[in-house]
Amino acid sequence: MGVVRRVVRIVGWTSIVAGLLILGFVAQQLFVTTWFAQQNQEALVQEAETRFQEAEITEVEYTPPAPSSTTTPGVGTTLPPGEVVPGAGGSGNDPGAPLVPKKRTILVESTPEKGTAFAIIRIPTIDRLKDGWTVVEGVSIRDLKNGAGHMPRTPLPGQPGNAVISGHRTTYGAPFHELDTLNPGDIIEVETALGTHTYAVRETIIVRPTELWVTEPRDGAWLTLTTCHPKYSARQRLIVFAELIDGPNWEAIYA
């Protein structure tokens, strides 16, 4: 009888301790990390707003890709190779001359230092992101604990190409918790030192975490948001592709 009682006591205490450890884990992940992230947000918003005033902005020449490469800017229809897009360029009036896209000027801001806040992302259809969440430069574990993170080898938001921003889904403030509710046409705004860049959601997909192709350059100006999927798991990635529809560089890139 003494042995049985001893075993029951050990099993009971082990269960209580295990339960407390699990409860502690859930509380730490859901509440403590979010508290830290929210504390950081106040300072990061200040940092981003300071950068909006102080970032170096320059004009650089931008040559859009040849129109035969993929799509008609702003329309999204695929053209056959060699098709001439009216107003997209060309040399002189010779219809047989090779197509040379016009050079245009776009605004470029200085590259932010790693770990610093340089942008604010707003998604009006998502409550958590209505008022904005800061975007920091870099996607290291430390960077992403502070805010959403911009992948350094991709262009900054508002620039031609594919700007990639990653964010937590369930912890550290979970800025991208409701990213799966976005529908094609929903608006995403990213404020940077150049102004506000407005994107429209085009597509949402789910991929494996190793599928790097989602970060590859694209014609036009795109924003790609990435987060963990499903919620409370890092098994897959939810990807949102959005295309620039307005902003300081829109006309130069798409007109």
Partner 1 sequence: MKNWFISLPGPMAAKVVIAVIVVIIGLIALFFVYDWIGTNLLDTGGTIG
| Interacting residue ranges for partner 1, rule: CB under 8 A | 21, 24-25, 28-29, 32-33, 139, 141, 144, 149, 151, 164, 166-172, 174, 176, 207, 209-212, 214-215, 226-228, 232-234, 237-238
- Whole-number minimum distance, CB 208 to partner 1, in Å? 9
Would you call 122 helix, strand, or coil by DSSP?
A: strand
Q: Cβ 17 to partner 1, closest distance in Å? A: 11
Least distance to partner 1 from the beta carbon of 96, Å? 44
Nearer to partner 1, 34 or 196 (CB): 34
- When the beta carbons of 8 and 232 are compared against partner 1, the nearer one is 232
Other CB atoms within a 10 A radius of the CB of residue 1 amount to 5
Residue (223 or 228) nearer to partner 1, CB: 228
Torsion angle, CA of 136/141/144/146, rounded to 10 degrees?
Answer: -80
Q: Which is nearer to partner 1, 83 or 216 (CB)?
A: 216
Tokens representing 230?
A: 């499903």
Question: Nearest CA to 163 among 222, 121, 119?
Answer: 222
Token pair of 223 as six digits: 């924003």
Q: How far apart are the first and last CA of the chain?
A: 86
CB atoms within 10 A of CB 6: 10
> Residue 250: left if φ>0, alpha if ψ -120 to 50, beta else—which one?
alpha
To the nearest whole angstrom, how small is the minimum distance from the Cβ of residue 159 to partner 1? 19
- Nearer Cβ to partner 1, position 3 or 141? 141
CB of 218 to partner 1, least distance (A): 15
Say if CB 89 and CB 51 are below 8 A apart: no
Q: Token pair for residue 238?
A: 């939810």
Least distance to partner 1, CB of residue 160, Å? 20
Helix (H, G, I), strand (E, B) or coil at 30: helix
Helix (H, G, I), strand (E, B) or coil at 142: helix
Q: CB of 122: closest distance to partner 1 in angstroms?
A: 18
Question: For partner 1, which is the closer residue by CB, 110 or 215?
Answer: 215
Compare residues 33 and 192 and give the one whose CB is closer to partner 1: 33
Q: Are 113 and 126 in contact (CB under 8 A)?
A: no
